[in-house]
């Protein structure tokens, strides 16, 4: 099994800090076609996210339930459980995110990585695990890059 792990804020949906209002959840431009393309290519899709608002006590973890429900409404059938529950081959998989922390997480896991260069990365602290395999301006372009890259690690 191969997968694409998608950072939520700034990659899949617009980055609205500490947003827990379901009505404000929308997909980034081109995200729907990108996800359909990746699904047609046989990739399992996983949404991964860090939530500093929960970690710093700005809102309760339960507030994310409504946000998760809204994402399920936007992406029926595409949100899956964590990769370890599904036998995902990480070397055949990709991590797509909008900051170098996402890239580092993907590289540490053994995935190929794409940085969505949409202005959200502001520190640019590079290091051996913070260099993406590819860069793209948006999620749709990232999906096309994944499609053109093939399955070889």
Q: In whole angstroms, give the CA distance from residue 24 to residue 20.
A: 8
Q: What is the pTM of this model?
A: 0.78
Q: What is the CATH number of the domain that holds 23?
A: 3.40.50.1000
Per-residue model confidence as pLDDT tens digits over 89-132: 888 999 999 988 888 888 888 889 999 999 998 888 888 889 99
Q: In whole angstroms, give the CA distance from residue 101 to residue 153.
A: 21
Per-residue model confidence as pLDDT tens digits over 27-53: 999 999 999 999 999 999 988 876 555
Number of folded domains in the chain?
Answer: 1
CB 28 within 8 Å of CB 13: yes
Total residue length of the chain = 153
Q: Which domain holds residue 134?
A: 3-149
């Amino acid at each position: 099994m191969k997968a694409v792990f998608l950072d939520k804020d700034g990659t899949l949906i617009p980055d609205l800090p500490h947003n827990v209002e379901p009505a404000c959840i929308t997909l980034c431009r081109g995200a729907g076609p990108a996800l359909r393309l990746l699904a047609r290519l046989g990739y399992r899709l996983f949404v991964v996210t860090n939530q500093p608002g929960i970690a710093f006590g700005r809102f309760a973890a339960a507030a994310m339930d409504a946000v998760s429900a809204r994402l399920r409404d936007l992406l029926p059938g595409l949100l899956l459980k964590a990769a370890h529950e599904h036998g995902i081959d990480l070397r055949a998989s990709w991590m797509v995110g909008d900051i170098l922390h996402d890239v580092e997480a993907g590289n540490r896991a053994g995935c190929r990585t794409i940085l969505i260069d949409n202005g959200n990365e502001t520190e640019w602290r590079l290091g051996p695990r913070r260099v993406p395999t590819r860069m793209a301006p948006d999620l749709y372009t990232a999906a096309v890059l994944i499609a053109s890259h093939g399955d070889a690690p």
